[in-house]
Amino acid sequence: MEPTTGQVIFESNDHAPWPTASLAKMMLMLIVVEKLNDGSLKLTDKVTTSIKAAKMGGSQVYLKEGETFSLDDMMKAVVVHSANDASVAMAEYVGGSTDAFVQMMNQQAAALGLKDTHYYSVHGLPPAPGEQPDVSSAYDLALLARALLKYPQTLQWASIDTAPFRNGTFELRNTNHLIRTYAGCDGLKTGFYDKSGFNVVATAHRNGLRLIAVVLGSPRKDENFDQAADLLSSGFANWQMDEVAKQGVQAGPAVPVTGGTADAIRPVWGADLSLFIKRETPDSAIKLVYDMPESVSAPIATGQKLGTGTVMLNGKPAGSADIVAPVAIAAGGSMVHRFMGLF
C-alpha cells in the first residue's frame, strides 16, 4: 500500500482474518501517539507498574510492581522490544484498566473502518482457554499503519535499532530485522506465536516514495521479513510518486477580480499534489484540469479557496488540491488600479 493515496498495488487474501499476535500493539501505539499529538499525554509522563503488568509473560522488560518509567521509555519497550508488561502498564495508565483500554482499541478500529479487526487484549498474547484471539487482516493492518504514519513520533520509536533501558542494565533490541537489513526501512511492528506464525508490518522510504508491506502467517522465522522485503522492492522498482503541483506555485491563469483594489489575481496551489503511478506511464496519460470561477469578488483573504485542481490519469480523476489566493485583495478600487492591469 502507498500510504498517501491508500492505493494497494499487490494483495493476496488481504481480508482474511488472522490472529495478530503482537501486531495488536499497533493500536495501542496509535491511541498513544494521537494523545501525544493533542497534548493529553506527554513523553515525560511517569507510568507506574501495577502488579498485573509485572506478572505478564512472553516478551517483556521484567517490570517490577511499583517501578516507574517515563512514557517515552515505556513506549520504546512496547514498540522496539514488543514488551507485554510495558503494554499493560501503558494501557492501564491511559485507559484506567486493560478492559477499558481494549474498548478504546475497538472503538478506534471502528472509527478507522477496520472491518476485519477485533481486539480482546492490549498485547496480542495467545488467548487463554475460553478466550478469543485478537484478529485483523493484512488490509486492515495496512490501514492501521497508514494512520500511524501520520504521526512522526511513530517512526521515532519504530526506527530504533537498540536502546538502553533501566539505566542501561537492559538493552532493547528491535524485533523488526528489516530496519537493520533493508535500506530505507524505518518501521513498523512484528508479531509471533505458534498459531499466528511470523508476522510483520513493514514500511520503507526511498526516493520520495513510502510504501507499506504486510505479511501474515509465515511458517518459518525470517520468511516474513524476506517476503516483506520482496514486496517493498517490487513496489519501489515499478512505481513512483510523481510531483504534479507544488504548494505556493501558480495554478492556472489569472482570475478577474470585481470590486477590488486589483483587477485580477494569480491563484496558487494550496497544497502539494502528487500522483502515484507506474514508472512506464506516459506523460500523455496525465492531465491537469482546473475548476475555477470566471471571476471572484473582493474582498479576498490570503489563503482563501478560489477553486480546485484535479490531476487526471487516463481520463479518470486521480487526486485533487485546493487552489487559493496568495495574497489578500481589499474591496474598493480606482481608475489607477484598473489601468494597472493584472495584480
**218/265 same-domain check:** no
Q: What angle do CA 181, 229, 244 make, to 5 degrees?
A: 110
> What cell numbers appear for 223 in the block?
520468511
Q: How many domains does the chain have?
A: 2
Range of the domain at 334: 246-340
In a domain, 8, yes or no: no
In a domain, 1, yes or no: no
Per-residue pLDDT tens, the chain, 343 aa: give them.
999 999 999 999 999 999 999 999 999 999 999 999 999 999 999 999 999 999 999 999 999 999 999 999 999 999 999 999 999 999 999 999 999 999 999 999 999 999 999 999 999 999 999 999 999 999 999 999 999 999 999 999 999 999 999 999 999 999 999 999 999 999 999 999 999 999 999 999 999 999 999 999 999 999 999 999 999 999 999 999 999 999 999 998 999 999 999 999 999 999 999 999 999 999 999 999 999 999 999 999 999 999 999 999 999 999 999 999 999 999 986 544 445 544 4
Q: Is the peptide bond before 299 cis (omega within 30 degrees of 0)?
A: yes
CATH number at residue 177: 3.40.710.10
Asked if 224 and 199 count as a contact pair (C-beta separation under 8 A), the reply is: yes
**295/274 same-domain check:** yes
**295/310 same-domain check:** yes
Question: CA-to-CA distance for 177 and 166, rounded, in angstroms?
Answer: 23
**305/234 same-domain check:** no
**256/205 same-domain check:** no
Asked if 22 and 59 count as a contact pair (C-beta separation under 8 A), the reply is: yes
Taking Cα atoms as reference points, which of 178, 75, 177, 187 lies closest to residue 142? 187
Domain boundary, last residue among 215, 239, 263? 239
